[in-house]
Amino acid sequence: MIIKARKIQNDQRFTSLAVILYILAFIVVGRLLILQIFNFDYYTALAINTHEIYQQLFPKRGNIYIQDSRSGKDQLYPVSVERPFYLLYAVPRDIAPNSVATTTDFLAGLLKFDDEQKKILSAQLSKKNDPYEPIVDKLTQETAEIIKQAGLAGINLATKNYRYYSENKLVSNVVGFVGSDTDGNLSGRYGIEGGWDSELAGKSGFLAVNKGALGSIISLAGKTEQTSENGADLVLTIDRSLQDISCESLRQGVATYQAQSASLIMLDAQTGAILAMCSYPDFDPNNYAKVSSASAYNNTAIFTAYEPGSVFKPITMAMALDLNAVGPDTLFNDPGVRVIDNYKVYNALKKQYGTITMTQVLENSVNTGMIWVEEKIGNNAFEDYVKKFGFGQKLGIKMDGEVDGNISSLEKKSDIYFANASFGQGITATPLQLVASYTALANGGQMLKPYIIKEVRYANGKVEKTIPQTIGNVISQRAQKLITGMLISVVENGAGYVSVKMPEYYVAGKTGTAQIAGPGGYTEETNHTFIGYFPATDPRFIMLVKYEKPQRAWAESTAAPTFKKVADFAVDYYNLKGDK
Closest CA to 500 of 543, 441, 538: 543
In this predicted structure, what is the pLDDT of residue 223? 54
Examine residue 549 and state whether it is found in any structural domain, yes or no: yes
- Domain holding 15, by residue range, is 2-38
CB 273, CB 70: distance < 8 Å: no
Examine residue 340 and state whether it is found in any structural domain, yes or no: yes
Q: What is the mean pLDDT for each group of 10 consecutive residues in the chain (580 residues)?
A: 44 53 50 39 38 54 94 84 89 92 94 94 91 87 93 89 91 94 81 96 70 49 65 97 98 98 98 97 93 93 97 98 98 97 94 97 97 98 98 94 95 94 98 98 97 96 96 97 98 91 97 93 95 97 98 96 98 95
Is 272 strand, coil or helix?
coil
Residue 197 has phi, psi (to 5 degrees) of -60, -45
In this predicted structure, what is the pLDDT of residue 158? 84
Residue 519 has phi, psi (to 5 degrees) of -60, -35
Examine residue 260 and state whether it is found in any structural domain, yes or no: yes
Report the distance separating Cα 260 and Cα 278, nearest Å.
14
Examine residue 106 and state whether it is found in any structural domain, yes or no: no
User: Alpha carbon of 60 to those of 57, 134, 189, 233, 392: distances in Å?
Assistant: 9, 22, 17, 10, 38
In this predicted structure, what is the pLDDT of residue 40? 38
Examine residue 170 and state whether it is found in any structural domain, yes or no: no
Contacting residues for 128 by C-beta, under 8 A, at least 6 apart: 92, 93, 97
In this predicted structure, what is the pLDDT of residue 33? 41
Residue 176 has phi, psi (to 5 degrees) of 80, -150
For 150-273, strand residue ranges (E) read 155-164, 177-180, 186-189, 205-210, 224-226, 233-239, 261-268
> Domain tally for the chain?
2
Examine residue 284 and state whether it is found in any structural domain, yes or no: yes
Examine residue 294 and state whether it is found in any structural domain, yes or no: yes
CB atoms within 10 A of CB 357: 18
In this predicted structure, what is the pLDDT of residue 46? 36
Question: Any idea what DSSP says for residue 38?
Answer: I
CB atoms within 10 A of CB 81: 17
Task: Give the domain CATH number at 472.
Answer: 3.40.710.10
pTM of the model: 0.82
Examine residue 412 and state whether it is found in any structural domain, yes or no: yes
Is 41 strand, coil or helix?
helix
